[in-house]
Amino acid sequence: MTHKGKRRCECFDLYKELTPYGEAWSWQKSIVKERKALIEGNEDWSETLIILQHQPVYTLGTGSSEEFLNFDIKDVPFDVHRTERGGEVTYHGPGQKNNSILKDWIASGDQKLAAIGIRVSQWVAYHGLALNVTSYLTPFQRIVPCGIRNRRVGSIKGLLMESLSLDGCRRTDI
Which active-site residues does the annotation give?
146
Rounded distance between C-alpha atoms, residue 60 and residue 69, angstroms: 10
Cα-based torsion angle of the residue sequence 73, 129, 150, 62 in order, rounded to the nearest 10 degrees: 40
Where are any strands of DSSP class E within 55-133? 57-60, 79-82, 90-92, 96-98, 104-108, 111-121, 124-132
Rounded distance, CA 57 to CA 80, Å? 6
Contact 134/42 with Cβ under 8 angstroms?
no
Identify the CA nearest to 102 among candidates 54, 168, 170: 54
Helix H or strand E encompassing 162:
helix 156-169
